[in-house]
Every structure is written in C-alpha cells, then in structure tokens.
Amino acid sequence: MKTISRRESIKMSATIAAGLVAASLPAQSLEKNNVKRLKLLVVGAHPDDPETGCGGIMSKYVKNGHEVVSVYLTRGEGGISGKNNAEAAAIRTEEAKKACSIFGVRPVFVGQIDGDTKLDTDRYDDMWKVIDKENPDIVITHWPIDTHRDHRICSLLVYDAWLKSGGKFALYYFEVMTGVQSQNFNPTDYVDITDFIEIKHEGCYQHASQKIKEDYFNDLLHGKMEVFRGMEGGYKYAEAFMQQMQSRKRAL
C-alpha cells in the first residue's frame, strides 16, 4: 500500500476534523429552530459506490445537521486484482472508513461478498434488519437497471425492505457511471453539490485501490456526470436522483 507522507497525513486529519465538526454543530441549530433532524441512508453494493454516486448529498446533509449512514452490501472482496477476498476486503473496508470519516458519516457493512451477491430469503432479511434498525427517513440506493449484477441485487434488496416497511421511508435511486453501468436513468431531482465538490472528491480519493483519482474524475465517468447533471439542474455541479414513483416525497 502507498506510504502516506507527514504532510498528506496532516492534510487528511484536518479534512476529517472539518467533516466531524460540520456533523455536530448544525444539529444544535436544527433543534433551536424546531426543524426535524433527518436520517439519510445511502446503500451501495461496494465501497466507493455511495461515495461516487452520493458523496455530495451526504456531505451536504451532514453540513446541514442531519444524520447520514453509508451502507455497504459488500466489502469489495473481488475488487483488487492480485488480492484474495480477505486481503481486498481489509483494504477496501479501511478505504471506506476513511471516506466516511471525511464526510462525517457512519459506515455499516451488510456482509455479502463482492462478485457473489445473492438474492434470496435470507439476504432479503439481512437487508431488512439493517434498514429497520436504522429507521431512516430517506434511503437512496442503486438504480436497478444496471450492467453490474451486484448493483441490481443491492437495489432489489432495498426495494423489498421498502415494501416490507409499508413505504415508511422515502426511496430514491442514484446513478453510477451512467451509460456504462446505470442505464435509462431519468432524474426527477437534482442536488446542487457545488459547495461540496472538493470534500466529495477527497472522500472518493480515499479509494486508492480503485484508482478513483487517476481515472474516475479525469474521464467520461463520474467527473463528467457531475458537470452534466449540473448543467441540467442549473448548477455548476450536481448529483441527480430518481424518486421511486410510489414513494412518499421528500425534497432532497
């Protein structure tokens, strides 16, 4: 693994500290103004999915005093060439934890295996237990029409939990690598992340094993999506989401 210099370590610590401060102070303001503190769950298939798809909105919610949880269906076991499942899981779990610290959010791991995710009664129950325990107001997960099987399975597990809850929480979908992975994604909501673009990228860059910094924000994938969705929504940078049409509406 790459050795972190003292300067990089100091910079990372400062960024993490800023995220944690942002997570704590505004909550007092919410209470003072009698505004309900919301809980947002972002559920992704792998470490880096919540960050690349929703890093902006997660940071924004934390800044505004709300609670945010990043839920990972797997620990990225199959995501590093030359590493076995245990080695890859250890590396990618730490990367996810670092990213969550920067955003000021809490990580939760469901326990399935990257590349071997399953859709059966036990796995439906596993996802339901996580979501029911967290009791969220809003859940955002993968759009189900996607070329990656893990993404599709993650989405359906969350959808089943939403049905089981009786539609208790608002359900939205996020996109990843649209045109390459997410397909036929037509947003209903745009969130301005212009003020949070730097912290989003800093969190995403913690996934060094996935070459996020080298590839994802320098090509036609995530970085260009932020610009394009910003153009559609009337912002400099934006993340786009699609509401489950039968879901209760909550302004993102």
* Predicted pLDDT at 36: 86
* Predicted pLDDT at 239: 98
Contacts of 98 (CB under 8 A, 6+ apart): 12, 16, 206
Is 244 in contact with 85 (CB distance < 8 Å)? no
pTM of the model: 0.87
* Predicted pLDDT at 172: 98
* Predicted pLDDT at 250: 81
Is 119 in contact with 153 (CB distance < 8 Å)? yes
- Kindly report the length of the chain: 252
Query: Would you call 109 exposed, middle or buried from its count of C-beta atoms within 10 A (0-12, 13-18, 19+)?
Result: middle
Neighbours of 86 (CB within 10 A): 10
Mean pLDDT by 10 residues, the chain (252 residues): 44 43 50 77 98 98 98 96 95 98 98 97 98 98 98 98 97 95 97 97 94 71 91 97 90 84
Contacts of 235 (CB under 8 A, 6+ apart): 190, 192, 193, 194
In the chain, the largest separation of any two C-alpha atoms, in whole Å, equals 53
Contacts of 224 (CB under 8 A, 6+ apart): none
Q: Which fold has domain 6-22+39-243?
A: Rossmann fold (3.40.50)
